[in-house]
Amino acid sequence: MKKTVKDYIRTIADFPHEGILFRDVTTLFADPRGFRMAIDQLLHPYAGEAIDKVVGLEARGFILGGAIAHQLSVGFVPIRKKGKLPGAVISQAYTLEYGEAVMEVHDDALQPGEKVLIVDDLLATGGTCEAGIKLVERLGAEVIGCAFVIDLPELGGRKLLEKLGMNVHVLCEFEGA
């Protein structure tokens, strides 16, 4: 039987808290066939589209985004948690299940009019990606799509991003939070 991307992802029970089923993509990244399959499938809907930069959301989005940027021969831009970037930044707060967090990007990372693909490993509530979209748009660039390996549909992230007018591409879904 032919393997799918989902077959390479392991589930770890009770991490980081009891009752959570953590979807671990490190097993996908460690397997050369699985990793190539994921990168190829994340890229597929955007073949032939003009993309100037790939934006990766901290932290596993860096791994995927870097590989995708390489395949497309375009630049890569990290969006990081507050306090991790050394230069002048712009910040965007977003809400978490319990509290608030802040994402940042260098204020010169994107130019007005650039077309951007945002990449991350997991789409849950959509808050992190929404913050990334706002940062990209504040720099004058345009998000042409948001690509994820995993969607947790029960948490509503895809609906949130689509409500913002985003084209959302996911490789697989898992039930539960």
Q: What SS3 state is found at 125?
A: coil
Sign of CA dihedral 109, 101, 118, 69: positive
CATH fold of 48-173, please? Answer: Rossmann fold (3.40.50)
Identify the bridge partners of residue 120 per DSSP, sorted by sequence position. Answer: 148
Is 23 known to be catalytic?
Answer: no
Q: What SS3 state is found at 130?
A: helix
Residue 1: per-residue pLDDT: 86
Is 162 known to be catalytic?
Answer: no
Its pTM stands at: 0.96
Domain residue extents for the chain: 48-173
pLDDT tens, the chain, 177 aa long: 899 999 999 999 999 989 999 999 999 999 999 999 999 999 999 989 999 999 999 999 999 999 999 999 999 999 999 999 999 999 999 987 778 999 999 999 999 999 999 999 999 999 999 999 999 999 999 999 999 999 999 999 999 999 999 999 999 999 876
Q: Which of 60, 80, 104, 114 is catalytic?
A: 60
Q: Which of 33, 36, 97, 162 is catalytic?
A: 97
